[in-house]
Structure 1
């Protein structure tokens, strides 16, 4: 291939002719008219002309120079829909072309340019797959159609199997919400109220009034009460009792008894008058009685109550699912084209890759976790942002999927996408909580439905006793109706699950994830909370505040050794030491006497958290003054008590402030490095609130007792567990539990083993570890005040559940007793039944409206013992400490 312009122009013309022969239209007529190949090289990247594309990789032979490679690339890019890149150094070409373009056309073009080309093995395999893709799609389509036909056939031939799967849902035990309509209530009121009014007011009665009431009652008992009858029939088909079965039976019994009495007794006479009574002891006196007022009144009140219950149940069912933040469908991404220029393009959320820079405009939702690399704006952290949902972010600020931008456009660099985002992990928590709550709801509903058959049995027995004692059929029927109408299985079904569901949703809306309903009960029983010092009570990067060297040692060398041993660790203390060492090294501290770099062997970490390795250190001979490099064993460790430091200067430095780390080599302590961080500003207030809630606060730390005690006194923590090595923290938490305490452990991802052994594990400050199985509670907020808030919430939820249970059972027992003794009128029995359910719903709904930021008023029976200063070394108190 040469620089001869006629040859290049001829090759270009042949390329265009080949493209037209392949059925592709030219995409740059202006360029074609000019015939200037150089202009094409400076134009923008060729656009792919519609339809699917495929990629080829070619091995090239015959490229004489980089100029020849550039000419070949220009020739290939002239083909419509083709994007080519030719690399001279590797003698390879990468080509993206439409599926309709045969690779033989490209091979011929390159051959005409004097270059031999052949496809790589991977390209040949992809080409073969593309040729067979249509056949594969047809086979897959036929397979899916066959599966659908088989599934339909199985479903049509196995109706009994589907109908008997009652464990999957108990929704059939509730009256269908879609059938409880205002139209049914309006018709029931228009037709039923006159029936009730005429029957309870004898002055309004006239000849044949009872037959008019019967006619008015028919649509009320049938169409208006149909949702309750349908639920009863659906439950019977499944071998269960719907929650409104007793009311449905009462409506039917009242209507049927009245109809029979009017047909075969004097009740149907034109001049018959009803003698109203307000108790079940109706005066029969041989004149009979009708209960059309009961049939209509119960239907009206049930429809009214269930309309209210329907709205409450819908709100509670959506309480958790409403916390899901709807993501954006598309997003603007900034990527470099093959010329290295940044280009904006619209892509779907599923196409986002880690490392992409995305643009989130005003009112846009962040689709992925990442870090702000451009812009400043106020954002709404969404349902999981806690109290301070609206925060300002700037460059280097982390943002999470689901965050809404309230200001100017933000440029965000993606770090986690799809299922790895914090929002996806949160939604998995919510889905798991929904499944657990649904199972609990099934158990509660099935248990409450067992009250219905017992109510039928009690009603039958009550009717038999009344019939034997009074020989009055009307009184017996009235007592049975009162029992059936007064029982409230719905109140029992809602007494626990509604409050627990709303509690889970309220906690999640405040930035706290509770694993399931059982976590609410466990956290409400907690009387001791153990805080891990690092990651919970403090914030911000730790910093080295001082380096104290032993006599004759260089403090810069002490820091350099500690930095070399801590280089590979991700712990906050290690990062602080490495950062201080880097700053000192860049500033040239120590001069020529301290090596710029230290050669270090493999670092080992023991159960006590000691970092040790062999390090090449300069050693000066005292006699000759000659400095040589020798291999010595060095270590960085935390002192458990001051007896481990023989040098008084180092011992004083260890208790002088901050977290002390001892640097030693050759088995001798050479210096102490003090590292400190900032206590969270709300830590003291949160601890005080917990103490006022009768919860003993405890801090577990690796520091020596004086250092840990000083920090605990500053915050207000009552108990200190000091000198605990990382490998012994889990055993220490277990020992506190063994003393009879119900323990909640609060920590970050560094103490997951402690969270696992505690009664309740609370994960804090680890957005990337939400999915771990060790924690029962995840705090998405960084403030300590979220802990007393969630404790106050769960205690209120548990108190509400207990109160609801007492109310539901107490009402049912009292209502049945009043009904059996004849003191409760069947018509009025519906009112307390509905009021009990509505009262339980109202009390449960208060969970979502109450503020939990103030100190809780729920007081436990246990009081912490103030002033008890404990410190474990292993599992025993240190010799110089007392209980």
Structure 2
């Protein structure tokens, strides 16, 4: 949220104002001059940090700094690369004043969590702010003072590492304003207005269409009943029309508002100037313009005004209730920072473990919390004790719901049975659920901006319908000399136009498509990504991280002639110690098992020292190792040599038995030292259970599948044949992968690249970059938001065909809705001009078309299975 006056500060200011007024009432002379006169140099200073949006070019930021420093005592510096401003200001300066200064330059400033927490802490402190002494220790303090100082230090540290901001303002910061960008403010369309419209409008409607209910003077009673319907119940539509006129824009509900007001105003004129106002006059319902009464006979359209209002309100309320909002559901599940959780605390002195209740905002990474059935998990963490069964959260990441020790758990899931102790990894806005909320929220903001374009296009219908209604009225008067019929056809034109259906066509389907995908563990950047996915005809998989399980095992160890296979494995394990790649972990694990079983005998060292570890640009591992050798006399000699683990990319890299080993097994790793290749280790990485089925599904959708691998062609081709992948790009090193994807794209293909964080640079060059198996990327990958199109937090391959099928379905619905909307609008206005459409029938058709589009858009909630 933008920095604003806190509730506490507002209460203090109000109390001061009330005290001044009370003093004046008592006859005391109180100086009520400027309240913020202060000596800037004498006041304590407070530091703030703001995150900036819409920052202008770097040469222009100096103007913003100068404007800020015009405030007495303020010092400001903008860090352009990080879009941050650091401000030091007297403690009496309201941060809102600083935000307003930056807003003059069209820069939106958002106070960081740490600054906001500090601000709240200062306002709540009963003591006046004083200058703190740096590096004050606890020596010489009394025990109580020392404990107080340590408590303050702990509180500051908690504020720094905790993901929560223990202030109600934090919730507002993450809650976007619920604005309907399409037509009318949603908060004004209420059940109360609908109830009033029905209570007062139903008698109007019934009396107008049933002559037996028309008593003497009924028309004046109907007029009185119409007033609250037209001016209160229909106020949201009038407000939208007035707002559009004031801003020079066109409100999408402007035609409906205009039709209601015209029907009401025309009826008043006829009541006053024609026999329609006479006591005893009766109306006969007319459904076609050709049989409307003449002006001299009188006519009323109050039924149209009330009927349109009732139908519009009912339709809009149904629409709002029918649209599920993932963001709103997430907000309901968001744990309150002030809510208490049970924390397991160990006494360092005695070792005793106790449980105590603590506000969630004070829980830090490393703490252990206890959760029981019915609890919604408030943090991300790892289970350290117990077991439980979970009910899936709002985001289904296809994770195991039977939780045991060692399992990871994420915020938002509900415990059905069991009891667990969770070691906290992330809290508050750092949790995966909060990160998904931000991604979906940003996608909604981007889509809202895109919706403005479609809304503007749809809004052209309003002035077109208005001009058509005027022309229609004139023509009917000139041709038939029947003002009532002319007004009926004009009202039908205005009532039949449905710009909301046209505007809703892309907007709702895209929003629901994005939210439906998010509920199934697939985070889509924006609507443009859906359109790109629709056009994808080639999917490239990086083999590691997408098609295989995230663990590997040693399959074979082949030593060159004259070399010891156990020594080859032991050196490989030593070189791989510092890497966390699955292949390195497999080598280390196999080397340790061989050492523990004393394989190789006394000639193989149990420990090999490694120094100067290095990972090359191609991902090879290099280091200096100590090798012990014996001479002919049996004496041991230790020497440091260069060693390397490298992966061959083509058949010419190896010869003889090593070449055969590198091409006939799994993923080959070559072990080299002293400039000579000593052996080849092949690794087995099991295929994901659904990989083959997912590849087949993509191929059946007409999508060409490609596998990108660093392995030699025989190894890669054999693996691809196992899954049914059409093409293989083999022998591609890490640095060459972006170029390989570009080459596929230049051949005319629309490419979706699928990979994990190790190939982020490759994902960036594709038409659609899909980052998979990366729940942690959501929490730590803010830098990816502008580069990656899709993030899949699931670990299964089936998410890829589901994603593309969902995108195609959403785009297909959008395209068909747009065609339908244009056909409807043109047809309805032609019928209205021809006098074949009663204004009430036109309203029903307009509302029906909008609801039809809504119903089709709502169908995207069902995610492909």
For the aligned pair, the TM-score class normalised by the smaller chain equals 0.7 to 0.9
Alignment match, 1:162: none
Whether 1:513 aligns to 2:523 is yes
Matches within 5 A, 1:117-516: 120=139, 172=184, 176-178=188-190, 181-198=193-210, 214=223, 217-268=226-277, 277-282=286-291, 287-292=296-301, 295-316=302-323, 318-324=325-331, 325-327=333-335, 329-339=339-349, 340-386=351-397, 388=398, 391-516=401-526
Give 1:239 shift.
3.9
Structure whose alpha-carbon radius of gyration is higher: 1
SS in 2 for 1:541: coil
The change in CA–CA distance for 1:327 and 1:315 in structure 2 (over 3 A counts) is farther
| Rounded Cα–Cα distance in structure 2 between residues aligned with 1:208 and 1:529 | 74
SS in 1 for 2:345: strand
SS in 2 for 1:724: coil
Give 1:620 shift.
5.0
Give 1:287 shift.
3.9
Between stretches 831-840 and 478-487, larger displacement belongs to 478-487
Could you report, residue by residue, the CA deviation over 1:700-741 in whole angstroms, capped at 9, with x for unpaired residues? 111111111111111111111111111111221222122221
| Rounded Cα–Cα distance in structure 1 between residues aligned with 2:618 and 2:679 | 19
Give 1:506 shift.
0.9
| Rounded Cα–Cα distance in structure 1 between residues aligned with 2:295 and 2:343 | 88
Give 1:367 shift.
2.4
The change in CA–CA distance for 1:723 and 1:672 in structure 2 (over 3 A counts) is same
Alignment match, 2:833: 820
SS in 2 for 1:634: strand
The change in CA–CA distance for 1:237 and 1:123 in structure 2 (over 3 A counts) is farther
Could you report, residue by residue, the CA deviation over 1:615-645 in whole angstroms, capped at 9, with x for unpaired residues? 2223455x76655333332221111122211
Could you report, residue by residue, the CA deviation over 1:458-514 in whole angstroms, capped at 9, with x for unpaired residues? 211222222233333223222221211111122123222111111121111111111
1:579 to 583, 589, 602: 589
The change in CA–CA distance for 1:372 and 1:219 in structure 2 (over 3 A counts) is closer
Whether 1:847 aligns to 2:860 is yes
CA contact (8 A) 2:340 2:358 kept: yes
Paired residues, number: 696
1:789 to 796, 802, 821: 802
SS in 1 for 2:670: strand
Give 1:598 shift.
2.0
Give 1:554 shift.
0.4
| Rounded Cα–Cα distance in structure 1 between residues aligned with 2:585 and 2:235 | 70
Give 1:559 shift.
1.1
2:821 to 790, 805, 808: 808
CA contact (8 A) 2:304 2:839 kept: no
The change in CA–CA distance for 1:225 and 1:601 in structure 2 (over 3 A counts) is closer
| Rounded Cα–Cα distance in structure 2 between residues aligned with 1:762 and 1:568 | 28
| Rounded Cα–Cα distance in structure 2 between residues aligned with 1:560 and 1:698 | 36
Alignment match, 1:137: none
Give 1:128 shift.
14
| Rounded Cα–Cα distance in structure 1 between residues aligned with 2:633 and 2:297 | 128
1:532 to 531, 537, 542: 542
Give 1:227 shift.
4.1
The change in CA–CA distance for 1:574 and 1:251 in structure 2 (over 3 A counts) is same
CA contact (8 A) 1:378 1:407 kept: yes
The change in CA–CA distance for 1:536 and 1:446 in structure 2 (over 3 A counts) is same
Alignment match, 1:766: 774
Could you report, residue by residue, the CA deviation over 1:19-51 in whole angstroms, capped at 9, with x for unpaired residues? xxxxxxxxxxxxxxxxxxxxxxxxxxxxxxxxx
| Rounded Cα–Cα distance in structure 2 between residues aligned with 1:209 and 1:361 | 66
| Rounded Cα–Cα distance in structure 1 between residues aligned with 2:348 and 2:819 | 72
| Rounded Cα–Cα distance in structure 2 between residues aligned with 1:379 and 1:625 | 63
The change in CA–CA distance for 1:830 and 1:641 in structure 2 (over 3 A counts) is same
The change in CA–CA distance for 1:675 and 1:313 in structure 2 (over 3 A counts) is same
Alignment match, 1:693: 701
Alignment match, 2:639: 630
Whether 1:550 aligns to 2:560 is yes
| Rounded Cα–Cα distance in structure 1 between residues aligned with 2:353 and 2:645 | 47
CA contact (8 A) 1:172 1:231 kept: yes
CA contact (8 A) 1:170 1:446 kept: no
SS in 2 for 1:603: strand
Alignment match, 1:728: 736
Give 1:582 shift.
1.8
Give 1:319 shift.
3.4
CA contact (8 A) 2:650 2:713 kept: yes
Give 1:365 shift.
2.4
| Rounded Cα–Cα distance in structure 2 between residues aligned with 1:284 and 1:183 | 32
Could you report, residue by residue, the CA deviation over 1:808-847 in whole angstroms, capped at 9, with x for unpaired residues? 2221222222222333222321111011011011111112
1:680 to 688, 703, 717: 688
CA contact (8 A) 2:809 2:860 kept: yes
SS in 1 for 2:741: helix
Could you report, residue by residue, the CA deviation over 1:261-299 in whole angstroms, capped at 9, with x for unpaired residues? 34334555568666754333355566444142xx32453
SS in 1 for 2:373: coil
Give 1:205 shift.
7.2
The change in CA–CA distance for 1:364 and 1:281 in structure 2 (over 3 A counts) is same
CA contact (8 A) 2:185 2:236 kept: no
CA contact (8 A) 1:243 1:490 kept: yes
| Rounded Cα–Cα distance in structure 2 between residues aligned with 1:166 and 1:280 | 42
SS in 2 for 1:630: strand
SS in 2 for 1:570: coil
| Rounded Cα–Cα distance in structure 1 between residues aligned with 2:281 and 2:143 | 99
CA contact (8 A) 2:274 2:298 kept: no
Unaligned 5+ segments in structure 2 are: 1-124, 126-136, 153-176
Could you report, residue by residue, the CA deviation over 1:657-706 in whole angstroms, capped at 9, with x for unpaired residues? 21011112233221100111211111111111111111112111111111
CA contact (8 A) 1:616 1:629 kept: yes
1:776 to 759, 778, 789: 789
Alignment match, 1:703: 711
Between stretches 217-226 and 415-424, larger displacement belongs to 217-226
SS in 1 for 2:611: coil
SS in 2 for 1:383: coil
CA contact (8 A) 1:282 1:474 kept: no
| Rounded Cα–Cα distance in structure 2 between residues aligned with 1:682 and 1:184 | 56
CA contact (8 A) 1:524 1:798 kept: yes
CA contact (8 A) 1:172 1:235 kept: no
CA contact (8 A) 1:664 1:670 kept: yes
Whether 1:562 aligns to 2:572 is yes
The change in CA–CA distance for 1:820 and 1:501 in structure 2 (over 3 A counts) is same
Give 1:786 shift.
1.8
The change in CA–CA distance for 1:347 and 1:560 in structure 2 (over 3 A counts) is same
Between stretches 118-127 and 511-520, larger displacement belongs to 118-127
| Rounded Cα–Cα distance in structure 1 between residues aligned with 2:738 and 2:293 | 76
SS in 2 for 1:536: coil
CA contact (8 A) 2:340 2:359 kept: yes
Alignment match, 1:715: 723
Give 1:257 shift.
2.2
Could you report, residue by residue, the CA deviation over 1:79-111 in whole angstroms, capped at 9, with x for unpaired residues? xxxxxxxxxxxxxxxxxxxx9xxxxxxxxxxxx
The change in CA–CA distance for 1:127 and 1:608 in structure 2 (over 3 A counts) is closer
| Rounded Cα–Cα distance in structure 2 between residues aligned with 1:373 and 1:166 | 40
Matches within 5 A, 1:73-92: none
